[in-house]
Amino acid sequence: MSKLVGAIDQGTTSTRFVIFDEQGTLVTHHQMELEQHSPQPGWMEHDPYDILDSVRTCMLHAIHKLEGLGYTTRDLTSVGITNQRETTIVWDKLTGQPLHPAILWSDARTLETVQQLTKKANDNTHILEPICGLPLTTYFTAVKLRWLLDNVPVVAQAQEQGRLCFGTMDTWLIYNLTGGAENGIMVTDVTNASRTMLMNIHTLEWSPEALSFFGLDQVQLPKIVSSSQIYGELSDGPLAGIPIAGCLGDQQSALVGQKCFSAGDAKNTYGTGCFMLFNTGDQPVVSTNGLLSTVAYQFGDNSPAYALEGSVAVAGSSINWLRDNLRVIQNTHQLNELAAQVDDSAGTYFVTAFAGLFAPYWNDSARGTLCGLTQFTRLEHICRATLESVCFQSKAILDAMNKDSGKPLRSLKVDGGMSNSDLCMQIQANLLGISVERPLMRESTALGAAIAAGLAIGVWKNMEDLESVNNQGKTTFENAISSEKRDTMYDGWMKAVESSYGWASPTAPQPCQVSA
């Protein structure tokens, strides 16, 4: 039997446990949808115990499926974890119990907190960027933690008494899966730590300057570790004793799963949000075009790799909004069918800024906007505009990456739920003017975590061993429109973006403006 590696893929809308063999072939998996809570407009939360229970349930069901295929738990060598990033959890050091629901990465409640911090920084939203690679915005973890300390008395009291534990989703999972309050291991990998605004991306250590700026003294922080090493063993369940040996934030994990190991390689993941990462090699690149500098991965004691990242807050979740809020479609398949019935969006633009715009705009005051509607507009045009919205925002990010890197990208590797749509990927190729490559096996995010774990325990000895992983083939989409048409479409998009500004707060900080 082939050696197997498992991956916990804990996302915003679902949790999965995926098992791969040495060739990167998906052997089996189990998935559960997750309930999100929105107690107020712009607020997004998870129950931390729901997350933990979903992980354990998915592992249990996946193992039952694995045994039905003739394997045993002894064939599983290790487990990796990949997770939704920036989502913030706080808990009591003494009891291990959460002190507040998890605040999701896309949550927008911290707008006022950002304004207060920006004022503290003399209106310089980039004050910590030389240290952490990130601007001040509602997106990142430290801002959410500051909000909790300012607005939730039980959290502030725990800080005063020195029993406040803080972590992102990876820390919460590893802590609980290795024993919790009794003897759980409290770590975070460099990729997740690089999204908190608290880690120095040059030294890979917690930054005293950043901690002081946010006022986070007496907070119990996890130990920063590499993305590929043995952190501890699962403490219970059918996989008790199996090492947890890999950990990556979901977008960095997709970069690893797509094997973007060379400087200049890039991938785009179309999930709840949309995230493009561009490998910049062994040195971080400070963006001058509204992108983020982040750690791409670190394997063992090797030097880290860095990436430029552009993030779109709303991608697949815009389809859910049409389905669940407007109730004009029943599922993603129907949206694609409707969008394919028209040749274009008839001048309709849908800026899906439900909680502001991320890279390269970084405008917290933007809100969702439908533009260009006429009596001719039909549901089909709005469905197509929904797909185009994600592709336009991805173009804005790629244009910024090309400017920062000085080396225009010639092809883009893609994965994630929306990449299953041939129409969406063709629109993306048209708007980028380059080829878009989609692998046959598209579980890139889970595969990245499995690769990290497998490298740590020797399933793969080195990077050369990974050349044969996930080579089942790919589909390539080529540009099919003229540059003139592309420019005309994009000019309309720019106008639509500008019209989305200022709805949440006319005084909201706007560190990066739309540029042509």
Nearest to 94 by CA among 182, 218, 223: 182
State the angle between helix axes of 483-499 and 422-432 in degrees (0 to 180), rounded to the nearest 10: 100
Q: Which pLDDT value is given to residue 405? A: 82
- Among 375, 319, 315, 381, which residue's Cα sits nearest to residue 347? 381
Helix, strand, or coil (residue 355): coil
Highest-confidence range of 248-252, 404-408, 466-470, by mean pLDDT?
Answer: 248-252
Q: Which residues lie closer than 8 Å to 341 by C-beta, 6 or more apart? A: 380
Cβ atoms 506, 365 nearer than 8 A = yes
User: What is the distance between the alpha carbons of residues 377 and 360, in angstroms, rounded to a whole number?
Assistant: 29
Helix (H, G, I), strand (E, B) or coil at 356: strand
Q: Look at residue 1 in the predicted model and tell me its pLDDT.
A: 59
Question: Where does 105-207 have alpha helices with state H?
Answer: 111-120, 129-132, 141-151, 153-160, 169-177, 190-193
Judge contact between 316 and 354, C-beta under 8 A: no
Tell me which residue of 168, 31, 194, 16 sits closest to 105, measured CA to CA: 168
Q: How confident is the model at residue 515 (pLDDT cuts 50, 70, 90)?
A: very low
The CA distances from residue 155 to 90, 160, 218, 361, 377, in Å, are: 8, 9, 12, 32, 50
Supply φ then ψ for residue 165, to 5 degrees: -100, 140
pLDDT in tens, 165-217: 999 999 999 999 999 999 999 999 999 999 999 999 999 999 999 999 999 98
Query: Does residue 116 surpass a pLDDT of 50?
Result: yes
* CA dist 23 → 194, 265, 475 (Å): 30, 21, 19
Q: CA-to-CA distance for 129 and 118, rounded, in angstroms?
A: 13
φ, ψ dihedrals at 276, nearest 5°: -110, 130
Indicate the SS3 state at residue 494.
Answer: helix
Tokens 């062994």, residue?
282
pLDDT tens, position by position, 495-505: 999 999 998 86
- Render 283-350 in DSSP notation, one character per residue: S----SSS-EEEEEE-BTTSPPEEEEEEEES-SHHHHHHIIIII---SSHHHHHHHHTTSSS-TT-EE
All domains of the chain in start order, with CATH: 4-265 (3.30.420.40)
Rounded CA gap, 143 and 200, in Å?
16
Residue 467 has pLDDT above 90, yes or no: no
Burial class of residue 444 in the structure, from the number of CB atoms within 10 Å of its CB (0-12 exposed, 13-18 middle, 19+ buried): buried
Q: What is the pLDDT of residue 441?
A: 85
